[in-house]
Amino acid sequence: MPFDCRHQYAHGHDACVADCPTRHPASGFLYQRVNTRDDAPQADASTIEVAVLDMNHGWPNLGHAAVIRSLRQVVCDLRDALDAAGLRVRVSSYDVRRHGGTPALDTDRGLLCIGTGGPGHLDPRRNDGCDPGSQGIAEDPAWEPEVFALFDQLRAHPEGVLLGICHTFGIMCRWLGVADAHLRGPEKGGKSAGIMENALTADAQAHPWFRHLCTQAGPSQRIAVLDSRLYDLLPSGPLPAPLLALGHETLGLGGAVGPALTMLEVASDPDDGMPRVLGVNHHPEIVNRPRQLSLLRRRHEAGKIDARWYEERRRTLMETLDEQHGEAQLALTSSFSLHGPLRYHLLRRLRLAAESLGRPWPLHERTTPLAMLATGEVLSLDELGAAL
C-alpha cells in the first residue's frame, strides 16, 4: 500500500508485527497511554507531541490501533532524519470519555490532534446504557465541555490541528452546533456499514486540497468510503463561514445524494490550503484490508474480542469491490481525508522544530509525497499543483 513504511515493503507485514523498528528505544518514536491526568506528558523542546483522542470508551476497535500504526509508519521512514536532528515524536493516547483528561497546547507549537471513532450516542447524556442508540454505553458526560474547550483552542491556534474520525466528527458537529445526530432507522437500512459512497460538493471542487480528489473522482464526483455508523448528521441550517461542507452521503451505491453531512472543514492552513481542522464520518484510518483482517483474526484468537464483534467487523472488511480498483478507491479517499493531511502537519511540525533549534532537517511538507492518486502514484503538493 502507498503509505506503508519502507521496512514493511522490504520485509512484509509479519516482520513489522514481530519486530517493528519504531518499538526500539532509539527509533525516535514514543507511545504512551494517558488514562489519568497524572499520566500526561511533560513538554520537551526536542519532542513533537501528537495527541490521539480515544473515543472508544474501552470498547474493542480497529481504528485506534490503525491510527497509531499510521503514525509509526511515518516515523519509521524518518528515523535517520530524526536521529540527525535529535528529534523524536511522542504519541499520547487520551482515554477522553472515561476522564483521562485532554492534552495541552504548546503556546508556540500548538498541537497535532487526531480523534477516533467510538460507540454510543453522540450526545453523552443519552448514553445511559438503556437508550437504543447508546449501544450499552453508560458514561458521565462531564468530559464534553473540556473537549469542546480543547477544540476551541485548536481552532484558534494557527498551529492547532484536529483530524476527527466518525464519532469525533459527530462530537465536532455538536461543538459547532451545525448538525444534529439522527439514529438511522429501518427506512435508511439501519446502521451504515461496509463500502459506501460519499458525494463531493462544489466547495470540495474549489478547495486547494480536495479539488485534486475531485479530479480523481471523475464526472460522478463520488468517492468510496468505509462506513461503520449508526447516526446521520443532518445540518440544522446553512453552514456559517468559513465552515465548508465537503461531502454528503448517498442513498446507496449509485443512489441520490442524501442530506447527511459526511465531511466538514473548519479551518485550513492559509498558505497551502491544507485542512487544519477537519472531520469525516467514515473510517479513512482503515487501509490495506488484508492487513486489517490479519490483525482482527489475531485479536480474536487471543480472546481480546468476542465472536459477535469479530464477525461484524470481518464481514465489513471482507466486502468485495471491483478487483482492479477497489483497494485503490479506498486508499485514494484515505490519502486525502486523513493520511495526506496527517503527514503534511507532522512533517511541518518537525521542520519548524528543527529550524527553531538550529538543527538539520532535509524534508519539506510541500515536496514530500502526500496524496495517492487512483493510478497508485503518490504525489507531493508541488507535484499536484504542477499536474493541474
pLDDT at 20: 86
Please check whether residue 56 lies inside any domain of the structure.
yes
Q: Which residues of the chain have pLDDT under 70?
A: 1-3, 13-15, 17-18, 288-296, 300, 305, 309-310, 312-313, 316-326, 388
Element (H, E) at 205: helix 202-205
Check: CB of residue 194 under 8 Å from CB of residue 316. yes
Please check whether residue 246 lies inside any domain of the structure.
yes
20 is in which domain, residue-wise? 6-361
Q: pTM for the full model?
A: 0.92
pLDDT at 290: 63
Please check whether residue 373 lies inside any domain of the structure.
no
Check: CB of residue 97 under 8 Å from CB of residue 138. no
Domain containing residue 40: CATH number: 3.40.50.880
Please check whether residue 383 lies inside any domain of the structure.
no
Please check whether residue 260 lies inside any domain of the structure.
yes
Please check whether residue 319 lies inside any domain of the structure.
yes
pLDDT at 194: 83
* Vertex 297 angle, CA 7 and 304, to 5°: 105
Structural domains counted in the chain: 1
Check: CB of residue 97 under 8 Å from CB of residue 147. no
Please check whether residue 381 lies inside any domain of the structure.
no
